[in-house]
Amino acid sequence: MVAAAHFFSSVAAAAVLLSFFSWSGSVASLPIRLKKEAAHSTDQEDLCVHKWYTQPVDHFNYGEDSYVEFQHKYAMVDKYWGGPSSPIFAYLEGEDAMSPDVCSETSLVDAYASRFRPLFIFIEHRYYGDSVPFGSRDAAFSNTSTLGFFGAAQAVQDAAELILSLRQNLSAHYSPVIVAGGSYAGSKNPILIIKLNPPA
């Protein structure tokens, strides 16, 4: 029964995702608008909590450098969350620092808070903003070995592990996860869905 519910929520998440995003460039019709002109310190901004999650610099190998860790930044709005049976809306940031006003800059919270009562999270991309490994931007970008961990595959895995950890911490193991993001960030979403719902 639980497995069936889980399967159903996975399918539902994927279906909603696919209606938001497709590979055919329908991103322009997304119901999520970027509100670049958003005023600072709106109500939502006050609700936006910035958090950190410890990530390994390398999710895939067992080399010496692979065990280096860094602090990965994410933001959360939990005020509207309906609890463990309600969804988690995860917004993936692209190739830029995450804005301090991230929770109000997308219309995500406005548009979906009352309808779905989700937990909203916004995930910064590694090597941008405050989510930079090796202690500093200069060090992270200094040579091919430090740059070797800068890539989409690692970034998707960051998001997957962060979301799974959050689900575990909230005992929300079966919360459907709806992922959003535009352009490059959005193109990572189908891969993220598969990672969150590995085939049995």
Ligand X SMILES: *[C@@H]1O[C@H](CO)[C@@H](O)[C@H](O)[C@H]1NC(C)=O
Picking from 138, 128, 196, 117, the residue whose alpha carbon sits closest to that of residue 162 is 196
Q: Least distance from C-beta 165 to ligand X, angstroms? A: 4
Q: Is 145 in the site for ligand X (CB under 6 A)?
A: yes
**d(C-alpha 131, C-alpha 9), whole Å:** 31
* H helix or E strand, kind and range, residue 177: strand 177-180
Helix residue spans in 21-176 (DSSP H) = 43-47, 102-105, 108-116, 137-140, 144-147, 152-169
Segment near ligand X (CB under 6 A), from 96-104, 160-168, 177-185, 187-195? 160-168
Q: Is 22 in the site for ligand X (CB under 6 A)?
A: no
**d(C-alpha 132, C-alpha 105), whole Å:** 22
Q: With respect to ligand X, which residue has the nearer C-beta, 104 or 146? A: 146
Q: Is 127 in the site for ligand X (CB under 6 A)?
A: no
Q: With respect to ligand X, which residue has the nearer C-beta, 123 or 185? A: 123
Q: Is 34 in the site for ligand X (CB under 6 A)?
A: no
* H helix or E strand, kind and range, residue 169: helix 152-169
Segment near ligand X (CB under 6 A), from 24-32, 107-115, 137-145, 181-189? 137-145
Q: Is 169 in the site for ligand X (CB under 6 A)?
A: yes
Q: Tokens representing 20? A: 């938001």
Residues near ligand X (CB under 6 A), total? 12
- Binding marks (x or -) toward ligand X, 42..61, rule CB under 6 A? ---------x-x--------
Segment near ligand X (CB under 6 A), from 15-23, 25-33, 36-44, 163-171? 163-171
Termini Cα distance of the chain: 16
Angle at 44 between CA 43 and CA 47, to 5 degrees: 100
Contact assessment for residue 82 and residue 88, using Cβ atoms and an 8 Å cutoff: no
Q: Is 139 in the site for ligand X (CB under 6 A)?
A: yes
Residues near ligand X (CB under 6 A): 51, 53, 134, 139, 142-143, 145-146, 162, 165-166, 169
